[in-house]
Amino acid sequence: MSERRAYLDHAATSPIHPEVIEVVASAMATLGNPSSLHAAGRQARKTVEESRESVAAALGARPSEVVFTSGGTEADNLAVKGLYWSRRAADPRRARILASAVEHHAVMDAVRWLGEAQGASVEWIPVDRSGRLDVAALRESVRREPESVALVTVMWANNEVGTLQPIGEAAAVAREHGIPVHSDAVQAVGQVPVDFAASGLDTLTVSGHKLGGPIGVGALLVGRDVKLTPVQHGGGQERDIRSGTLDPPGFAGFAAAVDLATRDVGTHAQRLRELRDDLVRGVLDAVPGAVRNGHPESSLPGMAHFSFAGCEGDSLLLLLDAAGIHCSTGSACSVGVPRPSHVLLAMGIDEELARGSLRFSLGWSSSRADVDALTRSIGSVVERARAAGVFL
């Protein structure tokens, strides 16, 4: 029998829920293209629309506002590019994009591309030491020339350090001037309450595989009066916003995962918070001087991010992996050269310290045993990583 491994990387992908597997398998056994008019097609369309209604009900949206996509990256690209092109076409002055400095690369790289290839003027709105958006800086940037702003994009919760953003405040600033706001809520759904109607947002991204759903499916919630220029063209599916053959099994599994994740989010969040707090205490006890990053209170209940002085994040990750513990490093890798995370640098964390960072993230399948495995191992792992660094 293989040794149990501790999975502390739900923010990367969460194990698919057994109930979701059953839903997907059942739907896969049913023939039909949802765009066909015959009985098989109508049955497939029924699955799609019931899935749409379920997702809408769980996230405080109208069914017509749910646009199914292949996941979070496509949804973010559709929102950012679609809003920019639509707004710019209506008024060529609208060339500015205001984005938080700690966005996920699905947003950040799309915004950068619009700046490099589509004439956008990009402004990165700063965050404080905890990774929380500077709302005053956003307000000042908007008020400086509101008629030139194409869109604002601020993630709901940061995918590295877990800090929750002041979405309501950001949306209110933009709403004063009729500026649309997008939010990547991939990490937030299932851990904190997410209500699209109450948020004041125009578009919102959610992804299935972060919730115990299938990989390769997600949604962009799009307000019914919001105009988006499509990124891809074809059969005109999904309000002519996102063409492509619809995926009834994937959508059904996604809807089931969203329902399971949001059905009793308060109880789920409390369980994760208790596990996370034990994890934090255990790490800080085992590694004196470890630095916890992110907002101390306004943060995802299932995420804890640390920096360990004198270590490389990749070394820590591989040593923990050898000990049977899965987590993520806080650094990205480009052409084989480790770089500190743009999120940590935007928070003002020293570059050398930022390189020795790890993210531990909990989800529906997390247990006390996972936390205990980490707290037993982290002390010796950090010692070995620091010793290795001395001899490099």
pLDDT tens digit sequence for 244-292: 999 999 999 999 999 999 999 999 999 999 999 999 999 999 999 999 9
Q: Which pLDDT does position 334 carry in this prediction?
A: 40
Its CATH class, for the domain covering 18-262, is alpha beta
Give the model's pLDDT for residue 337: 52
Q: Active-site residue 327, yes or no? A: no
**Distance (Å, rounded) from C-alpha 324 to C-alpha 163?**
27
Helix count (H) and strand count (E) of the chain? 13, 15
CB 15 within 8 A of CB 21: no
Q: Is 192 helix (H, G, I), strand (E, B) or coil?
A: strand
How many CB atoms are closer than 10 A to CB 342?
A: 18
CA 87 remoteness from chain centre: 25
Active-site annotation holder among 31, 136, 333, 388: 333
Inter-residue contact 68 to 205 (CB < 8 Å): no
> Which pLDDT score, from 0 to 100, does residue 389 have?
67
Contact 369, 11 (CB under 8 A): no
Q: What is the CATH number of domain 6-15+264-390?
A: 3.90.1150.10
DSSP 163: B
Distances (CA, A) of 252 to 159, 161, 234: 25, 31, 23
For residue 66, the SS3 value is strand
Q: Are 221 and 200 in contact (CB under 8 A)?
A: no
pLDDT at position 330 is 58
pLDDT tens figures, 187-227: 999 999 999 999 999 999 999 999 999 999 999 999 999 99
* Structure-token pair, residue 4: 């149990």
Tell me the three state secondary structure of residue 206.
strand
Q: Is 298 helix (H, G, I), strand (E, B) or coil?
A: coil
Average pLDDT, rounded, for the chain? 95
Angle between helices 368-390 and 313-322 (to 10 degrees): 130
Go through the chain and tell me how many residues it has: 392
Low-confidence ranges of the chain (pLDDT < 50): 1-2, 331-336, 391-392
Question: Residue ranges of the domains in the chain?
Answer: 6-15+264-390, 18-262
Three-state DSSP class for 333?
strand
Position 3 scores a pLDDT of 63
The reported pLDDT for the residue numbered 329 is 87
Cα distances (Å, whole numbers) of residue 117 to 43, 97, 104, 121, 148: 43, 14, 20, 11, 18
